[in-house]
Amino acid sequence: MARQVRNAKKVIYVFCEGESEEEYAKCLHATFSDVATLHIPPPVSTGLFEDTKRKFDKEPRFRNNAEVIDEIWFFFDTEDCDVDQWEKRLKIIKRLRGLRKKPNVQVRLLMTSGCVEYWFLLHYEMAVPALHTVADKDNARRRVQQLVPGYEKGDPATIRQIAANWSVAVPRGEEVLARLTADGMPLVGTKNSDDRDAWLHRNEYTFTTVQEAIRFLESLRK
C-alpha cells in the first residue's frame, strides 16, 4: 500500500464510552474543524480499550490509517472498580503509540471520575462533589438537568447547549486537577502522563482531564 500523505490538520480518533461522550466529541469536532479532524466511531459501553485495540489489530479501515493518525483519544469515566485496570490499559496504550514510529501516535485520556455529568456540571458552576455511589452520580445528573432543562444522556440538543460553555469549564477542570498535587498527584512528565494517569486511576478523588484535550485543540490555532 502506498504511503499516505499527512494532513495539515491534526487527525484524531476519539473512542467514547457512551453516547454523551460521543455527542460532546462531535461538538468539539464542529468547533475546532479548522485545525483538527476528529473521527468518532460509535461508542462501546464496555471494554473500551480492548475494543479499540481489536479495531487497530484487525480492521483495515483503522490499521491502514496509522500513518496519518496524530492522536488517539479515550473519552470515558473512571469508576472505583477500575482501580486494578490500569496496567492492562497501559499495555494497550503503549501498543497504540507504537502504531507509528518517529513520532509515535499520541494517546490522550479524557477521563472524568464517576460520570461525564461532572464534566458537564463544570460548564455552569464550580463544584467538587463525591462521585462514588449510584446516588452520587444520580445527584450530578439531576443537577445538570436543573441547569439544562431537558438534558438526558446522549441528547444532542442539550449537549450542544452544554458544550457551548466549554471556555468556562476548562479553567474549572484545571483548577480541580491542580488541587490534587497537594494530595500527591504526580506532575505530567515530559514524554507522557502515564504516572499521573496511573495515580488518578488508583485513587478516588473527583477530577476531569477533558480540559487538557480542549487546551490542545486551542493550541493548534496559535
Position 6 scores a pLDDT of: 52
Report yes or no on 3 lying in a domain: no
Report yes or no on 171 lying in a domain: yes
Q: Is the dihedral of CA 209, 141, 79, 203 positive or negative?
A: positive
Instruction: Report the candidate in 48, 68, 62 with the shortest Cα–Cα distance to residue 3.
Output: 68
Total structural domains within the chain? 1
Report yes or no on 2 lying in a domain: no
Domain that holds residue 109: 10-219
Report yes or no on 5 lying in a domain: no
What the block records as the C-alpha cell of 167 is 471556555
- What is the distance between the terminal CA atoms of the chain, rounded to a whole angstrom? 35
Report yes or no on 175 lying in a domain: yes
Report yes or no on 55 lying in a domain: yes
Position 2 scores a pLDDT of: 42
pTM > 0.75: yes or no: yes
DSSP character at residue 208: B
Given a cut of 50, the residues of the chain with pLDDT beneath it are 1-3
Report yes or no on 158 lying in a domain: yes
Angstrom distance (rounded) from CA 196 to CA 184: 10
Angstrom distance (rounded) from CA 12 to CA 38: 5
With beta carbons less than 8 A apart as the criterion, state whether 73 and 14 touch.
yes
Position 8 scores a pLDDT of: 82
Pairing of strands 36-39, 71-78: unpaired
Report yes or no on 1 lying in a domain: no
